[in-house]
């Protein structure tokens, strides 16, 4: 069962996750918060190549920066723990080395014996981040031999937190890659998104990007919410009778600071499904209330009470 102290620390991390304005700030906030939530000897946050699984752009706490060069230049090939986890058909969102490794046998491995143990890394717990079902980042927590292994309760906390970190990380990835001047300057003051039928963001005004940097009051990723809406509309209109450009849906976003209404228009040329795109128009005149704290979702509260 989780303690009140753990739940307070968890809530604090979630608030800082959604308050992060870029990926670097998010990475710093997550590592700083995790060391308070789940005591550990050191932590690391890597960007992961989804094709080669290579680590890059390390953010390290409690670890010598030069150690990453040693890992990439030599020990990477002997990292059997990583190989076991990443070779699975469905890479887990969280894991710990004791779930997979026999410590006695593992101690004979070069990566374990000559790289991890000299840095007092005895137990590991990891969180994987995914974008469009492909791994794109990993967070690892480390404990020395004198510390206990990561408990089931701690792994549950890590798994609960993963959903929030993943949502914010992928949103910031999208915002980082999209130019705010993709639309003509005559509409730059409007909050507009252009999304293709595969859910890829093709254009956005600066006002829309500012909106996407927020999250729903429930903590859900706004961009994911809009994409899911567009996917459902596409499935419902595979043989659409709608006139191209006609409004086909409307809704509202319940934000922590107020409510924002939106409309989705289907853009289509000559009734060809492959050319379908969706224009999302937000009404950016909504009431800003005082920011609310982020609280556990009903599912998180249910698990926490077990």
- Does any domain span residue 151? yes
Sign of CA dihedral 33, 37, 41, 43: negative
Looking at the structure, tell me whether residues 145 and 184 fall in a common domain: no
Structural domains counted in the chain: 2
> Measuring CA to CA, which residue among 279, 276, 278, 281 is closest to residue 239?
276
Q: Around Cβ 304, how many Cβ atoms within 10 Å? A: 19
Q: What is the pTM of this model?
A: 0.64
- Does any domain span residue 302? no
- Output the pLDDT for position 290: 40
- Does any domain span residue 296? no
Mean pLDDT, each 10-residue run in order, the chain (306 residues): 83 89 89 92 94 92 90 94 94 97 96 96 97 92 97 94 92 67 52 80 75 75 83 71 59 83 76 67 60 51 55
Looking at the structure, tell me whether residues 100 and 80 fall in a common domain: yes
- Does any domain span residue 289? no
Gap between the Cα atoms of 202 and 192, Å rounded: 11
Q: In this structure, are residues 228 and 235 in contact, taking their beta carbons and an 8 Å threshold?
A: no
Sign of CA dihedral 289, 291, 292, 295: positive
Looking at the structure, tell me whether residues 123 and 206 fall in a common domain: no
Looking at the structure, tell me whether residues 170 and 188 fall in a common domain: no
- Output the pLDDT for position 249: 82
- Does any domain span residue 306? no
CATH of the domain at 188: 3.30.450.20
> Tokens 């006139």 sit at which residue?
243
- Does any domain span residue 294? no
Looking at the structure, tell me whether residues 75 and 193 fall in a common domain: no
Looking at the structure, tell me whether residues 172 and 184 fall in a common domain: no
- Does any domain span residue 208? yes
- Does any domain span residue 98? yes
- Output the pLDDT for position 85: 96
- Output the pLDDT for position 236: 74
Tokens of 158: 């890590």
> In terms of residue numbers, what domain contains 85?
4-176
CATH of the domain at 161: 3.30.450.40
State how far Cα 36 lies from the chain centre. Answer: 20
Domain end marker among 157, 176, 195 = 176
């Amino acid at each position: 069962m989780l303690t009140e102290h753990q739940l307070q620390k968890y809530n604090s991390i979630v608030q800082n996750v959604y308050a992060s304005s870029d990926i670097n700030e998010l990475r710093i906030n997550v590592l700083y918060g995790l060391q308070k939530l789940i005591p550990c000897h050191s932590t690391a946050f890597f960007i992961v190549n989804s094709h080669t699984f290579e680590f890059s752009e390390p953010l390290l706490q409690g670890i010598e920066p030069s150690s990453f060069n040693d890992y990439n230049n030599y020990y990477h090939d002997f990292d059997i723990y990583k190989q076991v986890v990443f070779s699975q058909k469905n890479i887990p969102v969280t894991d710990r080395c004791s779930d997979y490794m026999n410590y006695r046998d593992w101690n004979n491995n070069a990566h374990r014996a000559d790289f991890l143990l000299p840095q007092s890394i005895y137990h590991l717990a990891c969180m994987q981040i995914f974008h469009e079902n492909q791994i794109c980042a990993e967070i690892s927590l480390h404990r020395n031999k004198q510390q206990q292994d990561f408990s089931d309760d701690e792994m549950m906390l890590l798994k609960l937190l993963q959903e929030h970190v993943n949502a914010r990380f992928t949103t910031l990835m999208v915002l980082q890659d999209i130019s705010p001047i993709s639309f003509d300057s005559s509409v730059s003051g409007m909050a507009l998104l252009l999304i293709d039928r595969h859910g890829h963001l093709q254009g956005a005004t600066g006002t829309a990007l500012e909106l996407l940097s927020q999250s729903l009051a429930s903590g859900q990723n706004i961009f994911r919410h809009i994409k899911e809406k567009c996917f459902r509309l596409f499935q419902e209109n595979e043989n659409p009778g709608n006139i191209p450009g006609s409004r086909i849906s409307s809704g509202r976003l319940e934000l922590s600071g107020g409510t924002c209404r939106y409309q989705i228009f289907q853009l289509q040329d000559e009734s060809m499904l492959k050319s379908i795109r969706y224009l999302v128009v937000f009404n950016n005149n909504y009431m800003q209330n005082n920011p609310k704290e982020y609280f556990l979702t009903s599912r998180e509260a249910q698990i926490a009470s077990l």
